[in-house]
Each structure stands twice: as C-alpha cells, then as structure tokens.
Amino acid sequence: MPQRHLREAAADAARQTAPRGLGLDSEMVRRRMVQRLQREGLADERVLQALSTVQRHEFVDSALAIQAYEDTSLPIGHGQTISKPSVVGRMISILFGGANAGQQGRLGRVMEIGTGCGYQAAVLAELSKHVVSIERLRPLHEKAQMNLAAVRTPAQIRLVYGDGRLGYSAGAPFDSIIAAAGGEDLPPAWLAQLAPGGRLVAPMVAPGGRGQILVVVDHVLEAGVGRFVRTEHEAVLFVPLKSGVS
Ligand code: SAH
C-alpha cells in the first residue's frame, strides 16, 4: 500500500536523521559499552547493571558527549579527568569483595575521595545505601552538584567540599572507601574511618616512586581485635591526590 510505504519511508528517514546529542540513542550506546567491558573481563552483574544505568554523557561537556561511551578518561576541566568506565567497574568490583559488602550484596555506606564531575558517585549510588563524596576543587564540587541534581539516584549522595585526605568523620564508619586520586601514602583518616569488615581501594604511588598501583585494605575483625590487611594489585594511572582545598 502506498500509504504504508510512505509511513515506513518517513519512519526510516526519522531513524536516519542525525541524533540530537545522544538523546534517545544513549541507552543502546551504553549497552554496547557494557558488553565490551564484559568481554574484556568485567564480570560482576551488579556493576555491569549500574554502568548501563548511569548516563555518562551527562557528566562531560557536550562537545565530548560523543566520546562518553568509549573506554577512556576525558577532561572535565581544572586539569582533572573523568575516570575510565573499565577502571570504575574494576574498582567497584573489588569493593564487592569486602566482607561487609559481600554479606550485604550492597556496598553499604560509601566514601569516595575525588568527586570530579560526579560520575563515579552516581554509579556508586546505584549499589549502596549512602554515598559521601569529597572534592578539594570548588568549581568541580559545584559542577558535580549540578550534574547530580539532574539525575535520579536510588541512594542519597552527600557532596562535601574539603580535603579528602581527612575523610569525613561525621559520616564514618564506612563499609567501602574508594579514592579516585593517588598519593604517596594512605591517609590515616581513611583507615580510622573504615568499618570493621570494610574495604578500601585506592591508587597509590608504587614503591620506588615509579607509576601507581591499586592498593586494597581490609579491616579485619578477629576475636574482637581489628587489623588492616593490605594487598597490592595492577598498575593504574590516576591524577595525584593533593592536600588542602582550592
Ligand atoms: N570520581 C571522578 C574522577 C575525578 S578525578 C569520576 O567520576 O570520574 C579525581 C578528583 O580527585 C579530581 O577532581 C581532584 O580534584 C580530586 N582530588 C585530588 N586530591 C583530592 C583530595 N585530597 N581531596 C578531595 N579530592 C581530591
């Protein structure tokens, strides 16, 4: 029928017009990104689900939105970057290996150091009870506030402007602590604010000062006595963990 053909042609044309931003297509593009991460070894279904839910393109400048679903870090201004999805996925999967997270099947109370644009905080909020995220650069803290106000997250996110090396004692103890910037040492406040059964994952300057590695610390409680068990993992590349605010 000519009329049906016309309708089909119109529908085809509509599909072929240039996408407005990423708009309606973003779900599909995101699903493809997640499938790629899965092929590359990211296995935790909960993490894959969270990565396919959070709209990463909403956290970068519109000029970069087209690259938002590539597995790459991108500039977010002020010399900082949004983390690579594979690294966000890897670190959050490691957190799920913590005793409390393992038991609950959720990340519990989470502290993130280095909010940046707020992307990882939004992913964490899909998987936890409460997220505190600290940023030392005021313009980025404010950018994250705007970005996160525009998305709906199941868990509450508290954004804190301050030096993340000090942690956030008012919200402690945390079941999961994750740093998005790497320093020479692990700030004592992070260990002090890690709940028994909690796990911390952070990039750290490698011994000898060459490059960074991922470090994991578990707060183990045995017969009422707590101790910290530290393991070292693969090489990573993060922006430096700095002191003070700016
Ligand atoms: N979590 C972000 C990544 C941000 S990059 C994402 O979702 O992609 C790391 C951030 O850590 C930068 O914004 C940097 O300013 C911040 N940072 C570095 N040292 C810090 C500190 N001591 N306290 C809080 N934030 C810090």
HEC assignment per residue over 55-119: CHHHHCCHHHHHHCCCCCCEEEECCEEECCHHHHHHHHHHHHCCHHHHHHCCCCEEEEECCCCCH
Q: Which residues are catalytic?
A: 83
Rounded to the nearest angstrom, the distance between the alpha carbon of 212 and the centre of ligand 1 is 16
Instruction: Give me the residues paired with residue 230 across strands.
Output: 217
C-alpha distances (whole Å) from 242 to each of 11, 120, 165, 166, 221 are 53, 19, 8, 11, 31
Kindly state whether residue 82 falls inside one of the protein's structural domains.
yes
Residue among 114, 155, 121 nearest 137 (CA): 114
Kindly state whether residue 225 falls inside one of the protein's structural domains.
yes
3-class DSSP assignment, residue 244: coil
Kindly state whether residue 223 falls inside one of the protein's structural domains.
yes
pLDDT at 1: 42
**Is ligand 1 within 6 A of the CB of residue 111?**
no
Q: Rg of the chain's alpha carbons, rounded to an integer?
A: 20
Rounded to the nearest angstrom, the distance between the alpha carbon of 2 and the centre of ligand 1 is 59
**Is ligand 1 within 6 A of the CB of residue 206?**
no
In whole angstroms, give the CA distance from residue 173 to residue 175: 7
Kindly state whether residue 139 falls inside one of the protein's structural domains.
yes
Q: How high is the mean pLDDT of the chain?
A: 92
> What is the H or E stretch that residue 236 is in?
strand 225-236
**Is ligand 1 within 6 A of the CB of residue 87?**
no
Rounded to the nearest angstrom, the distance between the alpha carbon of 181 and the centre of ligand 1 is 6
pLDDT at 209: 87
User: How, if at all, do strands 130-135 and 156-161 pair?
Assistant: parallel
Residue 176 contacts residue 166 (beta carbons within 8 Å): no
**Is ligand 1 within 6 A of the CB of residue 120?**
yes
Counted domains in the chain = 1
3-class DSSP assignment, residue 142: helix
Kindly state whether residue 94 falls inside one of the protein's structural domains.
yes
CATH code (residue 191): 3.40.50.150
Q: What's the pLDDT tens digit per position in 15-29?
A: 444 444 555 578 999
Host domain of residue 215:
73-240
3-class DSSP assignment, residue 45: helix
Kindly state whether residue 2 falls inside one of the protein's structural domains.
no
**Is ligand 1 within 6 A of the CB of residue 181?**
yes
Six-digit token pair at 86?
């594979």
Instruction: Give me the residues paired with residue 109 across strands.
Output: 130
Residue 151 contacts residue 54 (beta carbons within 8 Å): yes
pLDDT at 144: 98
Q: What's the pLDDT tens digit per position in 3-15?
A: 555 555 555 544 4
User: How, if at all, do strands 212-222 and 225-236 pair?
Assistant: antiparallel
User: How, if at all, do strands 109-113 and 174-179 pair?
Assistant: parallel
**Is ligand 1 within 6 A of the CB of residue 147?**
no
Q: Atom 14 in ligand 1: which residue has the minimum CA distance?
A: 114
Q: Which of 135, 165, 178 most suits a substitution to test ligand 1, by most atoms within 8 Å of the C-beta?
A: 135
CA dihedral 127, 125, 114, 218 (to 10 degrees): -30
Rounded to the nearest angstrom, the distance between the alpha carbon of 102 and the centre of ligand 1 is 26
In whole angstroms, give the CA distance from residue 80 to residue 181: 10
pLDDT in tens, the chain (246 residues): 455 555 555 555 444 444 445 555 789 999 999 999 999 999 999 999 999 999 999 999 999 999 999 999 999 999 999 999 999 999 999 999 999 999 999 999 999 999 999 999 999 999 999 999 999 999 999 999 999 999 999 999 999 999 999 999 999 999 999 999 999 999 999 999 999 999 999 999 998 888 999 999 999 999 999 999 999 999 999 999 999 999
Kindly state whether residue 14 falls inside one of the protein's structural domains.
no
Rounded to the nearest angstrom, the distance between the alpha carbon of 124 and the centre of ligand 1 is 15
**Is ligand 1 within 6 A of the CB of residue 68?**
no
pLDDT at 19: 45
